[in-house]
Structure 1
């Protein structure tokens, strides 16, 4: 079988039953399913890429993610992940803006930027300018209320245990990526730099800005340094500035993504958490590394 259809249920709202798996396997003319996690995930080998409409009809609109990969080379040697709304549950810049009293204004710009309506670098400069004069302790306060996405530690730890390089690559700021990378276990992190005068933010961001093209370039550079083909790389993100790296990665995953990203990405996680990315690589839950 040349392809694998992976089904992953959102355990907060449903369970992947044997009947569901059987119906989908019959609908896509797949071979015998392989259970990856009881009630949560299963692989269905297929000869041809399965029909998405047939899958959804068989699932009866249950909260189940469906990811198709090729049988060969499923487990990836490089993970490049976005941070905001991907590895952490929030948009750190928006939360930082709350301490400056401009959260609503900055959220509006963030929303347009992540939907691809305005240039990312332009939007970043505009948002940071609105933070001019903000005390630096607001950064620490924002960090204290930042939470990792469910499954983040498992994703990173499991891939590292299988010798993958893991990198956090964000259009956000190094103040946060450094802390998130340490908390989640990433090998390295790359992001933008906020400029300050030792006491407050100046309203400026260091140039050049890490944007969608820089994210793609970082993935390409890390793959070359690691000596792996692009087919052996994995990227995950939710916003328009992630599209370029998702497009070139061997497995590009749109995670609870903005509409423009969900439409263009080859793989989507709309319901479950980051554990789904491990299942999509063929890891059973018994192989997950928990920290």
Structure 2
């Protein structure tokens, strides 16, 4: 461990999480722990997170992406399956998440392929959405700890808003699909929720709750989460594409959102 980095407390909560509190040498501590984790025997994995005290003390805020973060899949691909264009949409989605194509342009291309679908498929997809493991526990635990939570998505409000409400998450923002005559028109209403919009959402929510940016935690998986992950006090890459993992402060490789509760220092509420 580098000079100036001293362990002052170690806690094992009995749930596979060990907490070490250190002073100074954040980058050196991160490298040392990551190097140690890389030497574990095959089959043994551990996520290492070194976060500033501001993310665990005082006023805090958590903002999460939805598709492939709060939930396990991509809503646009679930809709595409009903239109028979799943493969084409999935290829565009993957390219967008890797940062290879402009997100707004890619969204318009994908939504155009959904033209003619009955609007009722949105309810069908909502019923089939699978939250990521630990999502409900995370939302419940953060609410109990008084930590505001918001979700912001390049997906669709028609699914995101009721999903957030079901988890007790009070703040949600996403794109809205245009509907005419009970069918999707293949267009979105208003401005696209892209990377810049996600950062604006984070900043606005922090201001609304009087949380300094240093106390914010942003969690995402793809290139359109880059701006908010970089802007947050602690940016988290969750089972993420390499482009986001390279920019994040914390990289989580196990799909379990209770890790976010540990990051902000809140107790788990079963």
TM-score by length of 2: 0.90
- Residue in 2 that maps onto 1:90: 73
- Residue in 2 that maps onto 1:156: 139
Task: Could you list the structure 1 runs, at least 4 aligned residues long, displaced by more than 3 angstroms after superposition.
Answer: 28-32, 57-61
- Work out whether 1:54 is the aligned partner of 2:35: yes
- Residue in 1 that maps onto 2:53: 71
Contact 1:219 1:245 in 2 (8 A): yes
Give unpaired runs (5+ residues) of structure 1: 1-27
CA distance, structure 1, for counterparts of residue 208 and residue 156 of structure 2: 24
Shift in Å at residue 29 of structure 1?
7.0
CA displacement 1:69-100 (0-9 Å, x = unmatched): 12354146211111001111110110110000
User: Secondary structure, in 3 states, of the residue corresponding to 1:69?
Assistant: coil
CA displacement 1:220-267 (0-9 Å, x = unmatched): 111112112101111101010001001111111110001111111111
User: Secondary structure, in 3 states, of the residue corresponding to 1:33?
Assistant: strand
- Work out whether 1:281 is the aligned partner of 2:264: yes
Shift in Å at residue 114 of structure 1?
0.6
Matches within 5 A, 1:40-189: 40-47=16-23, 48-49=25-26, 50=29, 51-52=31-32, 53-60=34-41, 62-75=44-57, 77-189=60-172
CA displacement 1:107-155 (0-9 Å, x = unmatched): 0000000110000000000000001111112212211211111111111
Deviation larger for 254-263 or 58-67: 58-67
Matches within 5 A, 1:249-260: 249-260=232-243
CA displacement 1:143-189 (0-9 Å, x = unmatched): 12111111111111211112222111111000111121012210121
CA distance, structure 2, for counterparts of residue 114 and residue 63 of structure 1: 25
1:203 corresponds, among 157, 177, 186, to 186
Contact 2:79 2:121 in 1 (8 A): yes
Give unpaired runs (5+ residues) of structure 2: none
CA displacement 1:42-82 (0-9 Å, x = unmatched): 01233422124532245446311000012354146211111
Contact 2:63 2:218 in 1 (8 A): yes
Contact 2:103 2:194 in 1 (8 A): yes
CA displacement 1:205-230 (0-9 Å, x = unmatched): 11211110000011111111211210
Shift in Å at residue 281 of structure 1?
2.2
Contact 2:54 2:214 in 1 (8 A): no
Equivalent pairs counted in the alignment come to 259
Matches within 5 A, 1:18-57: 30-31=7-8, 33-38=10-15, 40-47=16-23, 48-49=25-26, 50=29, 51-52=31-32, 53-57=34-38
CA distance, structure 2, for counterparts of residue 264 and residue 73 of structure 1: 18
| Change in 2 beyond 3 A, CA 1:72/1:87 | closer
